[in-house]
Amino acid sequence: MAERARTLAVCLLASGVLAAQSVAFTFDDGPSLAASPRLSPVQRNQALLKALGAHKTKAALFVTLANGADRPEGLALARAWGEGGHVLGNHTVTHPDLNASGTTLRAYQQEIRDCDAALSGLPGYRKWFRFTFLREGNTPEKRDGMRAFLKQDGWRNAAVSLDTSDWRMDAYLREVLGRDPQADLAPLRRIYLAHLRQRAESYRALAIQLLGRELPQVLLLHHNLLNALFLEDVLRQFEALGWRIISPEEAYADPAYLLQPERPAPGQSLLLSLARTRGVKVPDHDRLVDDGDFEIAALKAGAR
């Protein structure tokens, strides 16, 4: 049954019958005050906002407070997102892993409260919380405790449907520029765009297979150098593919984002969690459970 559903999804996509696919852009872990090659923290922030503005795109930034917003200069970078009409959300203070045995439920919840206290006065701030590493707890007590906490305090679980490995490619980018600040980044740009297209098409097919319809996708990217350099290209590619770029509010209006599937493995999108809960096998060639291994191997092979 699952294979027939997947075949139908792929056929519908190939035939062009489904043309209403939409995507919302969200960014984690910013704003960061850490140094990077080529662009300063202010320049990285400006580049991201400029690309979004050029495409009239409203996005969401999930702030990890200790990355920089706990200081006036970093808080100013976050404020710029709110003043630009984007949503600011909560991504804890120090980005702890709720699946780690040393992370208690109480401590994790306090991280959310502390981040909330620091950001609540900023324009655009909403009580939207995104789990760090997309991990909702390694025990039923943590999982259920967080669900009760979010509901009681009026938080939205800002789930992700379209997960990517941009963080891994950002790390590789920094390695390349560390060796040669003037390195040609065209191969990385090309493979990054191919990676996003492959993930988008695979998650789109998975949504149709699981839900029987298109899902407004919520894309996870990061506030990093990679996207500061290439976000304009990413937006242009989605538009060229015929995807409609929508706001996160529009995407989260879909009732699928209220689903609470089990998460037997760490770091999963909503769709992958739903597939595993239902016992639906995701083909290996979809590469939804790797960390960009295929792309990094291709880049390293090309560099030799």
Q: Coil, strand or helix: which one is 63?
A: strand
The DSSP letter of residue 162 is B
Task: Using alpha carbons only, give the angle 185, 190, 191 rounded to the nearest 5 degrees.
Answer: 100
Domain CATH number, residue 98 = 3.20.20.370
For residues 20-37, give the mean pLDDT: 95
The structure tokens 């996003």 sit at 196
Number of compact structural domains in the chain: 1
Amino acid identity at 34: A
Confidence (pTM)? 0.92
Average pLDDT over residues 247-265: 90
More confident residue, 103 or 290: 103
Where residue 6 falls among pLDDT bands split at 50, 70, 90? Answer: low
For residue range 158-187, list pLDDT tens digits in order: 999 999 999 999 999 999 999 999 999 999
Domain that holds residue 44: 2-303
- Rounded Cα distance between 187 and 172, Å, is 12
Return d(Cα 158, Cα 121) in angstroms, integer: 20
Q: State the residue for tokens 């919302």.
A: 24
**Cα–Cα distance for residue pair 95/162, rounded to 1 Å:** 20
